[in-house]
Structure 1
Amino acid sequence: MRKIITLCVLVIVVFSCGTNKVTVRKKASKRNKTEQVVNRKVSKDNANRDEAVVETVNSTGVKIASTEDYVALFKSIAQEEMRLYGIPASITIAQGILESNSGKGRLSVEANNHFGIKCHEWTGDRIFHDDDASQECFRKYSDAKYSYRDHSLFLTQRQRYSALFKLRKEDYKGWARELKKAGYATDSKYPEKLISLIERYELHKFDEEVLGGDYVKFEDPKVASGSTYIVEKGDSMYSISKKYNLTVKELQDLNNLPNTSLSVGQKLVIARSSGNSLASASNVSPKSALVTKLHIVEKGDTLYSISKKYNVPVSELQEINNLSDTAISIGQELQIKNR
């Protein structure tokens, strides 16, 4: 009887130990699996700075508080795209800032689309968003870095952008103008906005870092020796005067112009030469010397209503502006004689 009782006790002890071992193994296995899910693929010493930046950008919940934050997060990616595809990092970053509202726009937040690239032949994920038309189709990416890569491919693989790659990489102004010319954006001020961003945040320094010893500061050919300007389509005497901090009258006097008419390709002097004075009789035409005001024609304006506004005869408006009749157009600049 004692032998039977002893045997039963041994069986219970053995079974109990076995159950505990299985339980421990199962718990250990489950813990290991959870740890593998949360592991990050970044070296402990963060030796690869670019990899660390990309990982930070893609972390859930990262918020960009300012344009400076945006630049800091994406500059290394833009520079790598420049090395691989020849697109100035300054242009890429400026476009990213403008198109994504410094990473705060809906397309960038919900679709990682930082360049407003529409679907076209895209077969991947997509998002619909109001742009030039209601609910247009835009590309959606799993990671912001793929948006930057697709931007590079978008420009390099389309023939209409081929003229970009004939420009020097230091010529960010030329790149900005050519992007608009090739149809990247419909905004008439798109080049000026990109150039302004590049110069405000000194994004051209990233181009210099990539090019190293090959970098040569580019002088805009539109302004030869800082003294002349070549008129482009869309320019007006007023817009050029603002660009170079001059008055319309000063531009006219510098160029001996009797009115504000311009033609594409026309060369304008935009700086005084040494010893030259705007008050010099040889540089001032009798008509332009009397002009002190400028009126931009608005919707509903007529030559008669403008003449009443400034208390000048219609005939005088026609004479000072070289008008053969009373026809005027919205946006036209009219000179008003000082009285």
Structure 2
Amino acid sequence: MVKKIFTFIILATLVSCSSSKPAIATTKRAAEIQRTRVATTKKQAPIKPIAKNYPSTNNTTEVIQSTSKTVVNSDLINNYILQFKDIAMGNMQKYGIPASIILAQGILESGAGKGDLAMTANNHFGIKCHKDWLGESVRHDDDSEQECFRKYSEASESYRDHALFLVGKNRYASLFTYEKDDYKAWAKGLRACGYATDPNYPDKLISYIERYNLHQYDCLITGRNYKPFEKSAATKSTSTPNRSTSTPSRSIANSNSNDPNLYEVQKGDTLYSISKKFNLLVDDLKQKNNLSDNAISIGQRLKVK
């Protein structure tokens, strides 16, 4: 009887061991499968198209020379456009100034928001104080040393003041006779009215408008169809000289070419740099040449003695 009981215990033990082994094996297999699934998920994660809506572009670098020298790239300029395009379109609708011109001037005058005046004074258009300015101001070297420039609490105020500045000054009245979206006429008109002394100012504005397709924002206001510019067309416009400003100055330059009392304006010259060269005050130089503002052209001959 004892032998039978002992035999039964041994058989029961053997059955118990054999039934438990497959369960362990099954558990291990499930664990292996689970681990494999986790590893596969981690491996696939980086493939997700996170940047699908942000295609890479040729991020070229350039130097913008206005009231300060600023190094920018195309990504920075595109971000600047996205930030201020709605304000520019709003100003076009309210004041009649092309949004493309507003944005191009903002890019050029502020170094796409990274220039000294834009960073320290939120001044995106290089507007000086003038006699009627009652707000805050900063001092900055431009045509003369430590000139007075307007200061704003935020960039949007600079955009609004730019529109009011053009609308409120009689010298810019002729601009508003042009078509609202004729950015080429506006670019040349700004230079002719004395907004900037750089003879290449119109070409620079047109270049930004056509390279970055800023005219599309004019069309959104006017309701006209917009056609993006081809690279060849944009390049051609930047190399074309501004005949309305360069031709008259050349005719002046050809006269009295040997007169030591006259100085022919070179590329990069300003009234301030010329006055320093001949030990004159800017006001004296303007008085000698009957100049009402600081606008000068390459090839123009100025009395310096």
Q: Does the 8 A contact of 2:199 with 2:245 survive in 1?
A: no
State percent identity of aligned pairs: 54
Change (3 A) 1:138 1:233: closer
Whole-angstrom CA distance in 1 between matches of 2:162 and 2:118: 13
Whole-angstrom CA distance in 1 between matches of 2:242 and 2:101: 23
- Aligned residue for 2:223, secondary structure, equals helix
Q: Deviations over 1:286-331 (max 9, x none)?
A: xxxxxxxxxxxx9xxxxxxxxxxxxxxxxxxxxxxxxxxxxxxx97
* Structure 2 residue 238 is the aligned partner of structure 1 residue 232: no
Q: Does the 8 A contact of 1:179 with 1:185 survive in 2?
A: yes
- The one of the two structures with greater contact order (alpha-carbon pairs below 8 A, sep at least 6) is 2
In structure 2, what is the equivalent of residue 68 of structure 1? 78
Whole-angstrom CA distance in 2 between matches of 1:230 and 1:180: 10
- Aligned residue for 1:232, secondary structure, equals helix
In structure 2, what is the equivalent of residue 245 of structure 1? none
2:216 to 182, 205, 222: 205
Q: Does the 8 A contact of 2:188 with 2:242 survive in 1?
A: no
Whole-angstrom CA distance in 2 between matches of 1:144 and 1:108: 8
- Aligned residue for 1:132, secondary structure, equals coil
TM-score norm. by structure 1 comes to 0.46
1:69-88 matches, within 5 Å, as 69-88=79-98
In structure 1, what is the equivalent of residue 17 of structure 2? none
Q: More helix by proportion, 1 or 2?
A: 2
Highest Rg: 1 or 2?
A: 2
Aligned pairs, number: 170
Per the TM alignment, residue 88 of structure 1 is displaced from its structure 2 partner at its CA by: 0.3
TM-score norm. by structure 2 comes to 0.51
1:1-339 matches, within 5 Å, as 66-120=76-130, 121-213=132-224, 232-235=244-247
Runs of 4+ in structure 1 displaced over 4 angstroms?
213-217
Per the TM alignment, residue 110 of structure 1 is displaced from its structure 2 partner at its CA by: 0.9
Whole-angstrom CA distance in 1 between matches of 2:142 and 2:251: 34
Is there any run of 5+ residues in structure 1 with no aligned partner, and where?
Answer: 1-63, 218-228, 237-260, 264-297, 299-329, 332-339
For 1:232, give the aligned amino acid. Answer: S
- Aligned residue for 1:67, secondary structure, equals helix
Q: Does the 8 A contact of 1:170 with 1:215 survive in 2?
A: no
Whole-angstrom CA distance in 2 between matches of 1:161 and 1:175: 10
Whole-angstrom CA distance in 2 between matches of 1:203 and 1:216: 11
Q: Deviations over 1:131-177 (max 9, x none)?
A: 11111000000011000000000000111101100000121000000
Per the TM alignment, residue 98 of structure 1 is displaced from its structure 2 partner at its CA by: 0.2
Change (3 A) 1:231 1:180: closer
